[in-house]
Amino acid sequence: MTISELTLKSRDEEPVRRLEIFTGSGRRREWLPDEKARIVAESYEVGATVSAVARRYALFPQQLFAWRRAARQPSATETLFVPAVVTAAPTEPAPKRPARPRKQKTARDAGVIELEIDGIAMRVGRGADTSTVAAVIRALKATS
């Protein structure tokens, strides 16, 4: 029996040009995560190129680029936030702020009112809303 007798052909007079027999799983390989990480790290070394590293491990450069992209993405198992820690409020009152030395007035400060209540300085500029300024003053007096 010849090879041409084992293949399906449309015409009997045409010989078989090529016959491939695949055995096993083929060229596809499974890479362990540690191996992938080592290869990706090697591709980031100074002077290394992706093509050279891919050739060394019989990979296509596109596959190595995909691994590098995947390594930059956070995985679903990683925590993407910092856990919050809640503590009780301090029982002692907060220390009072020391009075700051006054600054020299400049020409652009013309028309500005400066108030100092319990070491807290407040500057009110031209055109400030009177109800807002009054509310801020009441709040400052209430804290002292």
- Could you tell me the residue ranges of all domains in the chain? 28-74, 108-143
H or E element: which one contains 49?
none
**pLDDT of res. 108:** 59
Summarised one tens digit per residue, pLDDT across range 58-97 is 899 999 999 999 888 876 666 566 666 777 776 776 667 7
**pLDDT of res. 50:** 94
DSSP single-letter state for residue 113:
E
pTM for the structure as a whole: 0.38
The domain 28-74 having CATH identifier 1.10.287: the answer here is no
**CA 48 – CA 41 distance, rounded (Å):** 10
**pLDDT of res. 9:** 54
Most confident of 10-14, 39-43, 86-90: 39-43
